[in-house]
Amino acid sequence: MVAYADFHRRSIEDRDAFWSEQAKLVEWETQPQQICDYSNPPFAKWFVGGKTNLCHNAVDRHLKDRADQAALIFVSTETNQEHTYSFRDLHAEVQRMAAILKDLGVTKGDRVLIYMPMIAEAAFAMLACARLGAIHSVVFGGFASHSLATRIEDASPKVIISADAGSRGGKGVPYKPLLDEAIKLSAHKPANVIMVDRKLAAFTPVAGRDVDYATERAKHMDTVVPCEWVESTHPSYTLYTSGTTGKPKGVQRDTGGYTVALASSIPHIYQGKPGGTFFCTSDIGWVVGHSYIIYGPLIGGMATIMYEGLPIRPDGGIWWSLVEKYKVNVMFSAPTAIRVLKKQDPALLTKYDLSSLQALFLAGEPLDEPTAKWISEGLNGKAIIDNYWQTETGWPILTICNGVEKAPSKFGSPGKAVYGYNVKLVDDQTGEELTGANQKGVLTIEGPLPPGNLQTIWGDDKRFVSTYWNTVPNKLVYSTFDWAVRDEDGYFFILGRTDDVINVAGHRLGTREIEESISSHPNIAEVAVVGVADQLKGQVAMAFAIAKDTSGLTDDAARKVLEAEVMKVVDSQLGAVARPSRVIFVTSLPKTRSGKLLRRAIQAVCEKRDPGDLTTIDDPTALQQIKDQIV
């Protein structure tokens, strides 16, 4: 087994030869002519001249060796459904969905927006888009109309694929009214909407626009739709992520680089093998769902479990029962989910046969040491491996690559730099590289970003450069916007964000977005939103608002009424995921004399930490008000 340090070093110092070898893990219609074109930094083009197809590598290529092997295992504890699709079945269903899209005029380069619950048809939709060379944009099913509308407007899809409803905790969550309202709000109007009717919520189709999936599928039971071979650099999808401004960023991913990155990650990082089973508990609305529910495991010839439901319904053992039933080898979840399970009966961890499970990977937010220890002990010492990555990168930046060389995990650390990533810690004021142990700096990546990372921001190259590459003085490096330290063994420890993005149960939320939503309430004059440490979710949003008219806020009951109204506004515009845990009303907000909000000081007070030097604060009583109201 090769030493990991040498493996990583070669990926940086002998980059093209290294990635040329990894490219052999995928099938190409035309072999790449150039491995990496970095002639226009920071824009990297990977496997230039090569032609491939993401759907071909995820589905078609496996038909000759494992057509009857399980590929997609759909489990819903919400509707009590379970269905296993072999690679042959999946191939047929993806072609049926692709044929429907073709009938509606979707061709290579067209955008298709997917707004769906965790159902098998959502997987068919993503793979069908990839098959046609269309660019999909999946929007999380919990997003409200306002957020959905901004994404429709930015992506300008020819077709939207949706469903009547999702379900959570046994309660239907209607999607159609949210979608209809979003289309009404958006300046862009899709030509058609494909509706999957689950019979969970009645709806009225829009004549001439909405088409019924079941009816159209019946017309294409045997239709053959070949894969469209596309340039390696052709966009495969866009996925929106929050930023420090109200406008979401459409992360644009290529095809060839992404396919190679995922193909390499399955054996090297996750130790997955063809014929194994991968269970990722995320949602397709997030990047983890794209990479490790849909594309990664299938590219690796593994079965993938697509789960709709809660981790505690019907009880806290449901996930472990699926591990036993489907002989799961690799499991991927989030620290928040494990903290939820921590509150359940510990006997549920030993009730099922988990002998097939090699490792549990966790990502989405920092993994605290007590949670890591609890789940490690509960799973009888199974490997618990942290991952650190971002929507922008598409696959891990930091972890332990046990598929290359076995190495111990350190609780509290996601691990070391993954091959292909030239990770540097730098001083945020000078840009100087910090090479010593335990020096705090900004975690950055030297270009070119490795395969699978974002190419740019959809439709906005300037924003791609200014957002990610121009924030460190005197250096053109990609900023993760996270503080970190590296110990003497090369393990990194993430310390928190350098910007105003917060991480709630693995979901990145821009405080600016939440502030804009709250400010739209007619009685809100000003607001500050900060992320506050939370034992269960990692962070929660807390809002501090100044009301325009305070005459009616004389008692707690009146303040609670306004707080509920504000929460309702955020729910309707951004969805429940962005709802602050509290909205606290104050008469002034702590600012510098130049008018800059002191968010870090507010956050420190909320977390009962020292707010630091407050000599620049304009009104010292503003911070005291917040202190008095934090219970």
Q: What is the CATH number of the domain that holds 36?
A: 3.40.50.12780
Note the helical H segments in 30-166: 54-58, 63-66, 87-103, 120-132, 145-155
Kindly state whether residue 332 falls inside one of the protein's structural domains.
Answer: no
What is the phi-psi region of residue 221: left when phi exceeds 0, alpha when psi lies from -120 to 50, beta otherwise?
Answer: alpha
Domain region containing 470: 442-497
Q: Are 620 and 598 contacting, i.e. CB atoms less than 8 angstroms apart?
A: no
Kindly state whether residue 318 falls inside one of the protein's structural domains.
Answer: no
To which residue do tokens 């997987």 refer?
A: 123
pLDDT at 423: 98
Give CA–CA dist 424/408, Å, rounded: 22
Give CA–CA dist 558/57, Å, rounded: 59
Dihedral sign computed on CA atoms, order 566, 569, 571, 575: negative
Q: Are 593 and 554 contacting, i.e. CB atoms less than 8 angstroms apart?
A: no
Q: Are 112 and 134 contacting, i.e. CB atoms less than 8 angstroms apart?
A: yes
Kindly state whether residue 593 falls inside one of the protein's structural domains.
Answer: yes
461 shares its domain with 585: no
Give CA–CA dist 477/433, Å, rounded: 11
Rounded alpha-carbon distances, angstroms, from residue 377 to 346, 380, 411, 413: 11, 5, 13, 18
pLDDT at 243: 59
459 shares its domain with 561: no
DSSP letter for each residue of 545-577: EEES--TT-SSHHHHHHHHHHHHHHHHHHH-GG
- 462, 480, 497 - which closes a domain: 497
pLDDT at 626: 86
296 shares its domain with 253: yes
Count of structural domains, the chain: 3
**Closest to 225 measured CA to CA, from 92, 134, 86:** 92
End-to-end CA distance of the chain: 55
Question: Which residues of the chain register pLDDT less than 50?
Answer: none
Q: Within 10 A of 411 (CB to CB), how many other CB atoms are there?
A: 14
pLDDT at 246: 60
Q: Helix 511-519 and helix 556-574: axis angle, to 10°?
A: 120
- 458, 480, 497 - which closes a domain: 497
182 shares its domain with 276: yes
**Closest to 71 measured CA to CA, from 359, 254, 306:** 306
Q: Are 50 and 231 contacting, i.e. CB atoms less than 8 angstroms apart?
A: yes
pLDDT at 612: 65
Q: What is the CATH number of the domain that holds 533?
A: 3.30.300.30
pLDDT at 56: 98
For the whole model, what pTM was predicted?
0.85
130 shares its domain with 57: yes
Give CA–CA dist 555/160, Å, rounded: 47
406 shares its domain with 509: no
Kindly state whether residue 326 falls inside one of the protein's structural domains.
Answer: no
Kindly report the CA angle at 14 between 13 and 16, in degrees rounded to 5? 130
pLDDT at 592: 60
